[in-house]
Amino acid sequence: MRTEAEMISLIKDIAFKEENIRAAYIEGSRTNPNAPKDIFQDYDIVYIVTTTKPFREDKEWINNFGKILYMHYPEDNVFYPSDVENCYGWQIQFADGNRMDLHVCTKENALANLELYQILVDKDGIVPYPQETTDERYWVKEPREIEFKCTCSDFWWCLNNVAKGLWRNELPYAMDVINFVLRPHLKRLLEWKMGIENNFSVSAGKSCKYFKKYLQEETYRQFLATYSIAEIESIWNSVFEMCDLFQSTAVELSKKQKFVYDFEQAENSLSFLHHVRKLPANAKEIYP
């Protein structure tokens, strides 16, 4: 497996040799000093080019980076919008284990999307020197009370859709509500908790991948218990685990931030959930 030094050297050499490439920079986790380093970190590379067309048309050019195991072309995916004239990419898994997400972009496109990055090559001085040296822009932000209120209200209200889906034995629907509607609210609360405990100077990472690092062990264990297999009793159990974790976290946050928490809504929502769980499959009324 080629080392980081070898990969960066290759990336820079190709940029210097290609006249159409005017600058190159790396972004993503390899530029973040707080991101853990391991063998699966990829190389997020952007080449600033005068035009993307030669790179899109030359099917052999990409082989300059090494032996390719397999590759994906994100801009060719019909399910996502793209502007190939201004930005085109390759997602490459190399045979030696390295992975690269490479894009060729016009100057205007690249400069409009700069975040955390390090300049590798700049033939014309077109890339501004990075002002940020940390991932501060991704740190958890201190919540406003209205954000807390809306998060809690939406969570407790949307649970009735889970109850309905489980009673009907519509498991895909119920699990989608849990994972795509309710879970983001729970994650937000836990991010705020994590932020408070670390002076709002940390990031939860993509998909909250740093929860294990920043949450207490028991909180993290309970969070994992909110995931279930697609079996009705398992889902019910995970839902109540989620409710318990949400409730305890919301109460804790409300005290620390001096926010008002609607206990009545939470208790009534939980009561409805418990009632529906016991409701016979042939019930003619929810409440007789």
The domain locations on the chain are 4-137, 139-278
Instruction: Return the percentage of the chain with pLDDT > 90, whole number.
Output: 90
Instruction: Tell me what pLDDT residue 115 has.
Output: 86
pTM of the model: 0.83
Low-confidence winner among 3-17, 43-57, 124-138, 249-263 (lowest mean pLDDT): 124-138
In the chain, DSSP finds a helix count (H) and a strand count (E) of: 10, 6
Task: Categorize the per-residue pLDDT at 35 as very low, low, confident or very high, splitting at 50, 70 and 90.
Answer: confident
Overall fold of domain 139-278: Four Helix Bundle (Hemerythrin (Met), subunit A) (1.20.120)
β partners of residue 88: 104
3-class DSSP assignment, residue 100: strand
> Is the pLDDT score of 234 beyond 90?
yes
> Is the pLDDT score of 121 beyond 90?
yes
Alpha-carbon distance of 143 to 135, in angstroms, equals: 19
Average model confidence (pLDDT) for the chain?
A: 95
> Is the pLDDT score of 36 beyond 90?
no
Per CATH, domain 4-137 is 3.40.47.10: no
> Is the pLDDT score of 133 beyond 90?
no
Alpha-carbon distance of 284 to 266, in angstroms, equals: 26
> Is the pLDDT score of 92 beyond 80?
yes
β partners of residue 118: 26
| Averaged pLDDT for residues 181-193 | 98
Token readout for 180 is 């795509």
Instruction: Tell me what pLDDT residue 218 has.
Output: 96
| Averaged pLDDT for residues 116-145 | 89
> Is the pLDDT score of 217 beyond 80?
yes
> Is the pLDDT score of 187 beyond 70?
yes
> Is the pLDDT score of 132 beyond 70?
no
Instruction: Tell me what pLDDT residue 33 has.
Output: 82
> In which element (H, E) is residue 90 found?
strand 87-94
Contact 128, 33 (CB under 8 A): no
